[in-house]
Amino acid sequence: MQSRCGSCSPLIPPAQPFLPLIDLRHAVGVPSEPRSPAESSRPRNLRPGLRPRIATYLALATFVAVVILSVVTFAATRNYLLDTSTAAARSQAIANAQLIRSLVGANRIDAGEVVTNLRTEASGFAVLHLGAEDLFYAQAPLSFTQSNLPSTFVRNAIDGVSGIQRVEFAGRPYQAVAISIPAIDATYFEVFAISDVSDTLGTIRSTLIAAVLGITVVAGGIGYLLSGNVLQPLRRVTQAASTIAGGALATRLEPESDPDLQQLVTSFNDMADAVQERIEREERFASDVSHELRSPITSLGAAVDVLQGRAEELSDRNRQALDIIATQVKRFDRTVMDLLELSRLDARAGQDQLEETHLTPLVERIATRHGYGDVLVVSDLGTEDVVVVDKRRIERVLLNLLDNARDHAGGASDILLSSSETEILLIVDDNGAGIGVSERVRIFERFARGTASRNSVGSGLGLAIVSEHAQAMGGRAFVDTSPSGGARFVVTIPRGEQA
């Protein structure tokens, strides 16, 4: 057998169209998982997971509730503060108006002096209007006069309509109080600064906004943490479903104390029981049928062998018919054997005999033992490149790939072995026309045939068996295009834990 390994001298003729092994892993495209056309065309789901959504919904609900509460609180506080300020302003203004009625009523000439000496609130102003004289006396004429009040408010007050109005002066808010004093034919105006109330309301507003944002963030964080416990039953369901999908059909969910969750547990376990029963029934049926067919096939094979031993006594037409029967009996026997093997793989019957193995000499021995000694083996594996596997699985995988190349693609051109940090690649290139992209996933299904093998012999189960063994070893099988244009079948084999 021709071979090449990392520690041997080169034996490959220069004309061979092989890629350098250093580029082998890039050539077969190991990092990408093969996807079916349905998966490729399926739009990516960009929606966030259930746990972030729960946290977001809780944060939004908290935000709305806190905003409503904050608005109500701010409105009530604002009304209270303004009402308190207004009451204080009215009381102060009434007291000053009574004082003016007493002092100015006795001597109207001293009205200006009386207004000047009035005691008002800090930053407050006073203005007196005498009706008979139509004169205005301002407490601080250089700072605030009647001209700083709304003209409508002043006119109404002079006409005898007392009132209170909020005004702006020098960019600050004020409360203006107008009191009619008919006993002396006068109108008194007093203006109180309410900037303290405005500042207090601003502080309360900022505090409430910060509180809303902080409580919303905290609620989202609490929701995210609590949703972990809420979603724990769903994670158990997901884990159980994944375990069942991996082949452990006896997996079931534990009972829950919550009645709503118990309904989910009961429904899931009932579904798992039904699925397990159906799968086991189908596996038993396939296994029983295969076993029952072994005896008649063996008898047919023996009868065909007897007839072929006396083929010279038959006519040409009968010999042709006998050859067809012999071919179909062999094909039938191979199909039954493959079905039996798939039944054992489905049932996971038997224990793997795991051991550390150097693949290069193992592959060479397998190829030689089964009549493929002329197929070139190319390897870049060193002495440290070992895998922990069952050798029988490696033999079955390699033999099926070689038989597939022989039956459908003009034979295997070479066997390649290469390594990465976590796995070793077993590759078989053939001399065929290659596999179409649309068929590269489907050909590993049971009884599936590629376009090039429609009229070829075979059961249609060989590549399915390869895929099953690859998965049993923790790897996978896929097909690509070889440098010569044929098909390149790749099986990844994890290195495993070395002893």
Which tens digit of pLDDT belongs to each residue from 36-87? 444 444 555 567 777 888 888 889 999 999 999 999 999 999 888 888 877 8
- Same domain membership, residue 192 and residue 76: yes
pLDDT at 146: 87
Residue 371 burial class via C-beta count within 10 angstroms: exposed 0-12, middle 13-18, buried 19 and up = exposed
Percentage of the chain surpassing pLDDT 90? 12
The single residue listed with the structure tokens 């376990």 is 269
Q: For residue range 389-416, what is the model confidence (pLDDT) as tens digits?
A: 888 888 888 988 998 888 888 889 999 9
pLDDT at 22: 39
Q: For residue range 448-498, what is the model confidence (pLDDT) as tens digits?
A: 766 655 555 566 778 888 888 888 888 899 998 888 888 899 999 887 654
pLDDT at 105: 78
Whether residue 15 is predicted with pLDDT greater than 60 in this model: the reply is: no
Residue 128 in domain: yes
Whether residue 350 is predicted with pLDDT greater than 70 in this model: the reply is: no
- Same domain membership, residue 358 and residue 296: no
Mean pLDDT of the chain: 80
Structure tokens at 315: 């006519």
Which residues are bridge partners to 187 per DSSP?
Answer: 129, 180
Residue 11 in domain: yes
Cβ(432)–Cβ(42) below 8 Å = no
Domain boundary residue, one of 202, 229, 261: 202
- Same domain membership, residue 252 and residue 170: no
Structural domain harbouring 60: 55-202
Whether residue 254 is predicted with pLDDT greater than 80 in this model: the reply is: yes
Whether residue 10 is predicted with pLDDT greater than 80 in this model: the reply is: no
Single-letter amino acid code for the residue at 79: N
Which residues are bridge partners to 479 per DSSP?
Answer: 489
Domain boundary residue, one of 343, 377, 394: 343
Cβ(127)–Cβ(146) below 8 Å = yes
Q: Name the phi and psi angles at 342, rounded to 5.
A: -65, -35
Q: For residue range 414-461, what is the model confidence (pLDDT) as tens digits?
A: 999 988 878 889 999 998 888 888 888 888 887 776 665 555 556 677
pLDDT at 210: 93
Single-letter amino acid code for the residue at 38: A
- Same domain membership, residue 193 and residue 79: yes
Compute the average pLDDT of residues 79-103: 84
Identify the band that residue 292 occupies on the pLDDT scale cut at 50, 70 and 90. confident
Q: CATH number, domain at 259?
A: 1.10.287.130
Closest by alpha carbon to 62, among 225, 212, 221, 226?
Answer: 212
How many domains is the chain partitioned into structurally? 3
Q: For residue range 179-232, what is the model confidence (pLDDT) as tens digits?
A: 888 888 899 998 988 878 888 888 999 999 999 999 999 998 988 888 887 778
Secondary structure string (H, E, C) spanning the chain: CCEECCCCCCCCCCCCCCCCHHHHHHHHCCCCCCCCHHHHHCCCCCCCCHHHHHHHHHHHHHHHHHHHHHHHHHHHHHHHHHHHHHHHHHHHHHHHHHHHHHHHHHCHHHHHHHHHCCCCCCCCEEEEEECCCCEEEECECCCECHHHCCHHHHHHHHCCCCEEEEEEECCEEEEEEEEEEHHHCEEEEEEEECHHHHHHHHHHHHHHHHHHHHHHHHHHHHHHHHHHHHCHHHHHHHHHHHHHHCCCCCCCCCCCCCHHHHHHHHHHHHHHHHHHHHHHHHHHHHHHHHHHHHHHHHHHHHHHHHHHHCHHHCCHHHHHHHHHHHHHHHHHHHHHHHHHHHHHHHHCCCCCCEEEECHHHHHHHHHHHCCCCCCEEEECCCCCCCEEEEHHHHHHHHHHHHHHHHHHCCCEEEEEEEECCCEEEEEEEECCCCCCHHHCCHHHCCCCCCHHHCCCCCCCCHHHHHHHHHHHCCCEEEEEECCCCCEEEEEEEECCCCC
- Same domain membership, residue 292 and residue 421: no
- Same domain membership, residue 61 and residue 31: no
- Same domain membership, residue 447 and residue 336: no
Look at 54-63, 136-145, 328-337 and tell me which has the smallest mean pLDDT: 328-337
Residue 260 in domain: yes
Domain boundary residue, one of 174, 202, 230: 202
- Same domain membership, residue 158 and residue 132: yes
Q: CATH number, domain at 31?
A: 3.30.565.10
Is the whole model's pTM more than 0.75, yes or no? no
- Same domain membership, residue 361 and residue 311: no
Q: CATH number, domain at 194?
A: 3.30.450.20
Q: How far apart are CA 255 and CA 265, in angstroms?
A: 7
Percentage of the chain surpassing pLDDT 70? 83
pLDDT at 45: 58
Q: How far apart are CA 461 and CA 340, in angstroms?
A: 11
- Same domain membership, residue 268 and residue 362: no
Residue 41 in domain: no
- Same domain membership, residue 361 and residue 337: no
pLDDT at 8: 42
Residue 144 in domain: yes
Residue 238 in domain: no
Cβ(414)–Cβ(18) below 8 Å = yes
Residue 320 in domain: yes
Residue 77 in domain: yes
- Same domain membership, residue 373 and residue 337: no
pLDDT at 458: 60
Q: For residue range 309-325, what is the model confidence (pLDDT) as tens digits?
A: 877 777 888 888 888 88
Compute the average pLDDT of residues 282-289: 71
